[in-house]
């Protein structure tokens, strides 16, 4: 084999077994690699990688406690560090890339199956480094941001019949997409596909079609891919992008649900599912996805404080519609908010936020004393601030006061806030979440539009579409009684056409929530009572029918 400059190279070995580190070290030395360091855990490896650049990283996937090899890779590739483009080889006892690939989004340069023999390491490393050397100028151009040069170099390599023409084609497609040269990107992918239906080129076509805003074309390519390989996670991600472009939040939730069913270990997809299900007011799905996202966040660079807060908030919201469904989540949610500061850094606002969420969760857990204690410490830490940054925490405070039963205090604080931010659209939009009728222009308009759309569907007797329309506002304006009752009315008519227990359950949940926020003086109280009566008689009739 040609001299590939092994003696100049610096490798990093990551494995939790000392023996294995020793064996690999010896193999690398025998191959003539200049230098090799060893790390016993993912955390240690990342410290090393921040300090210097490595040419080769040989990392075991299963590293015992702490980060996995895959999580080390994700962090190296998604953050700024000297090893972001090191040659990364994921070593695994499981030799199937299928299982690993179905689980994650970032791919290593190669997989190597244990047991590793010196000859196999030599052969694999040789090929990988040969490719690196051949594509060195392309990578350098890419790294310096000179995409035009990278494109020219790739084309030259393809034209010269390089052994790595296939890799160059893949790169070319990506580069053209990045430069938004869609005609050229399509030409690259079409040329490959004319010869053979390769998945990466089909995925490239989807990306091109999405960029061209040809959503129908993108959909057709996606269907082809998923028909041939229902485990193609990248296709699910692109399908999710497509639904986002179409503002189809139901479709988005469905595809994320499918993707997380197939590969539950992807934190990013669990986070996205939690988010969209929460927006869709599907609180059970949201809370469970967010719980998994929090758990997966333990060792992941993609963990975010907002996901933890949203998990707690969703659990609290779920409790307000169905206590039984929320119960199994409460303990974990409390642990999660208690660790907020430890996981994401100490700030006063974060402390107040975690105390307020804890207070509400303690109400859900039935522990009034702890709830009062947490509220009291939150209030004393927050003080009487007029800082705009404190608004989201103050909104949380209003919620807590309401849940704990201090309605007057809640109303007073809310009144103060509305007074302070009068005429300030952005802040009013955020405060609308606490109000029966929105004060911000944007949300007033939204309510008007949703009502118009929903009522049109309702009059056309499309009750499902009507309910879906009203539902979209339930999370944004959870205290809007008019919308809530419109939703219930559409659902009741849906139930009349065909009795489905899932629909009945949703109605029951909405009533539970409404009864907690409506007062007898409310102008729609009469309507609420009537709808409740209609629903109850429907359920009675159905049960009688079932028995008879």
Partner 1 sequence: MNSPSEQKNGNENYGQTPIDFSFVLASSVHDMKNSLGMLLNTLSAMMTSSPPKDVEQARFFSVLEYEAARINGELVQLLSLYRMDENTMSVVIDEHHAIDIIDEQIARNDTLLKSRNIDVQVNCDSDLIWYFDNELIGGVLNNLIVNCARYSRKQLLVSATEENGFLCISVADDGQGYPDNMLMGSLPQTPVSFSSGNTRLGLLFTRKVLELHKSKKGQGYMTIANNGPLGGGVLKLYLP
The binding site for partner 1 (CB under 8 A) comprises 17, 19-20, 22-23, 26, 93-98, 101-102, 111, 114-115, 117-120, 122-124, 127, 163, 166, 196-200, 229-232, 262, 282, 284-285, 324-325, 501-502, 505
Minimum Å distance from CB 337 to partner 1? 23
Nearest CB to partner 1, comparing residues 279 and 524: 279
By CB atoms closer than 10 A (0-12, 13-18, 19+), residue 409 is middle
Minimum Å distance from CB 124 to partner 1? 7
Q: Rounded to whole angstroms, how far apart are CA atoms 22 and 39?
A: 11
Nearest CB to partner 1, comparing residues 31 and 534: 31
Nearest CB to partner 1, comparing residues 32 and 98: 98
Phi-psi region of 91 (alpha: psi -120 to 50; beta: other; left: phi over 0): beta
By CB atoms closer than 10 A (0-12, 13-18, 19+), residue 7 is exposed
Nearest CB to partner 1, comparing residues 24 and 151: 24
Nearest CB to partner 1, comparing residues 328 and 383: 328
Nearest CB to partner 1, comparing residues 94 and 248: 94
Helices (H) and strands (E) in the chain, counts: 28, 5
Q: How many C-beta atoms lie closer than 10 Å to residue 23's C-beta?
A: 16
Chain centre distance of CA 246: 18
**Are 98 and 231 spatial neighbours (Cβ–Cβ below 8 Å)?**
yes
Hey, is 146 helix, strand or coil?
coil
Minimum Å distance from CB 119 to partner 1? 4
SS3 breakdown of the chain: % helix, strand, coil, rounded to 5?
Answer: 70, 5, 25
Minimum Å distance from CB 275 to partner 1? 17
Q: Rounded to whole angstroms, how far apart are CA atoms 244 and 247?
A: 5
Q: How many C-beta atoms lie closer than 10 Å to residue 541's C-beta?
A: 11
Minimum Å distance from CB 231 to partner 1? 4
Minimum Å distance from CB 166 to partner 1? 4
Hey, is 492 helix, strand or coil?
helix
- Closest by CA to 380, choosing from 368, 392, 397, 357, is 397
Nearest CB to partner 1, comparing residues 9 and 289: 289
Minimum Å distance from CB 191 to partner 1? 13
Minimum Å distance from CB 38 to partner 1? 15
Nearest CB to partner 1, comparing residues 196 and 544: 196
């Amino acid at each position: 084999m040609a001299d590939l400059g092994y003696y100049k190279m610096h490798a990093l070995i990551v494995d939790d077994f000392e023996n294995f580190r020793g064996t690999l070290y010896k193999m690398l030395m025998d191959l003539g690699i200049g230098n090799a360091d060893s790390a016993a855990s993912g955390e240690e490896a990342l410290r090393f990688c921040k300090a210097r650049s490595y040419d080769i990283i040989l990392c075991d996937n299963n590293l015992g406690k702490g980060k996995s090899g895959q999580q080390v890779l994700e962090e190296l590739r998604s953050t700024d560090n000297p090893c972001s483009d090191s040659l990364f080889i994921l070593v695994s006892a499981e030799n199937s890339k299928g299982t690993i690939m179905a689980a994650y989004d970032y791919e290593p340069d190669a997989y190597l199956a244990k047991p590793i023999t010196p000859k196999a390491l030599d052969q694999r490393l040789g090929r990988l480094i040969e490719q690196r050397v051949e594509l060195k100028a392309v990578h350098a151009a890419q790294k310096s941001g000179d995409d035009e040069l990278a494109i020219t170099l790739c084309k030259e390599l393809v034209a010269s019949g390089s052994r790595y023409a296939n890799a160059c084609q893949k790169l070319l497609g990506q580069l053209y997409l990045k430069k938004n040269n869609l005609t050229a990107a399509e030409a690259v992918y079409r040329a490959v596909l004319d010869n053979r239906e390769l998945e990466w080129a089909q995925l490239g076509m989807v990306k091109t079609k999405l960029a061209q805003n040809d959503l129908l074309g993108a959909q057709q390519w996606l269907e082809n891919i998923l028909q041939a390989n229902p485990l193609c996670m990248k296709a699910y991600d692109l399908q999710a992008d497509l639904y986002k472009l179409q503002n189809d939040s139901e479709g988005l939730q469905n595809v994320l649900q499918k993707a997380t069913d197939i590969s539950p270990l992807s934190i990013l997809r669990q986070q996205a599912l939690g988010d969209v299900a929460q927006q869709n007011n599907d609180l059970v799905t949201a809370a469970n996805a967010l719980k998994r996202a929090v758990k997966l966040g333990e060792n992941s660079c993609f963990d975010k404080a907002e996901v933890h807060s949203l998990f707690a908030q969703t659990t609290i919201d779920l409790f307000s519609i169905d206590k039984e469904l929320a119960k199994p989540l409460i303990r974990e949610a409390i642990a999660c908010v208690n660790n907020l500061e430890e996981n994401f850094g100490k700030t006063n606002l974060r402390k107040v936020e975690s105390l307020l969420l804890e207070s509400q969760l303690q109400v859900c857990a039935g522990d009034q004393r702890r709830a009062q204690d947490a509220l009291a410490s939150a209030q004393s830490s927050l003080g009487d601030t007029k800082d705009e940054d404190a608004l989201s925490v103050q909104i949380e405070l209003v919620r807590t006061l309401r849940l704990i039963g201090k309605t007057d205090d809640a109303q007073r604080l809310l009144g103060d806030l509305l007074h302070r931010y009068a005429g300030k659209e952005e802040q009013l939009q955020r405060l609308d979440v606490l109000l029966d009728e929105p004060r911000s222009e944007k949300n007033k308009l939204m309510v008007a539009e949703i009502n118009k759309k929903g009522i049109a569907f309702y009059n056309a007797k499309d009750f499902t579409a009507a309910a879906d329309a009203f539902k979209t506002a339930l999370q944004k304006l959870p205290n809007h009684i008019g919308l809530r009752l419109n939703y219930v009315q559409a659902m009741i008519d849906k139930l009349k056409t065909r009795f489905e227990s899932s629909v009945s359950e949703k109605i029951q949940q909405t009533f539970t929530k409404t009864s907690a926020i409506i007062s007898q003086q409310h102008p729609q109280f009469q309507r609420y009572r009537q709808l409740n009566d209609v629903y109850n008689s429907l359920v009675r009739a159905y049960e009688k029918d079932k028995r008879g």
